[in-house]
Amino acid sequence: MDMLKDKVVLVTGAARRVGAEIARTLHAEGAVLALHYRSAAAEAQALVAAFNAARAGSAIAFQADLLDNEHLPRLVEETVKHFGRLDALVNNASSFTATPVGAIGAREWDDLVGTNLKAPLFLSQAAAPHLALARGAIVNITDIHAERPLKNYPLYCAAKAGLAGLTRALALELGPNVRVNGIAPGPILWPEDGSFDAASQAAVVARTLLKRCGDPADIARTVRFLLADAPFITGQIIAVDGGRSVVL
Catalytic residue among 120, 156, 179, 223: 156
User: Is 8-239 CATH 3.40.50.720?
Assistant: yes
Question: What CA–CA distance (Å, rounded) separates 159 from 146?
Answer: 8
Say if residue 19's pLDDT is above 90. Answer: yes
CB distance 235 to 142 below 8 Å: no
Using pLDDT thresholds of 50, 70 and 90, give the confidence band for residue 49. Answer: very high
CB distance 196 to 213 below 8 Å: no
Is residue 156 among the annotated active site residues? yes
Q: What ranges make up the beta strands (E) of the chain?
A: 8-11, 32-37, 59-63, 88-91, 137-141, 179-185, 237-240
CB distance 143 to 97 below 8 Å: no
pLDDT at position 248 is 85
Residues of the chain above pLDDT 90, percent = 95
Per-residue pLDDT reduced to its tens digit, 178-204: 999 999 999 999 988 888 999 999 999
CB distance 56 to 49 below 8 Å: no
- With a threshold of 0.95, does the pTM exceed it? yes
Phi-psi region of 235 (alpha: psi -120 to 50; beta: other; left: phi over 0): left
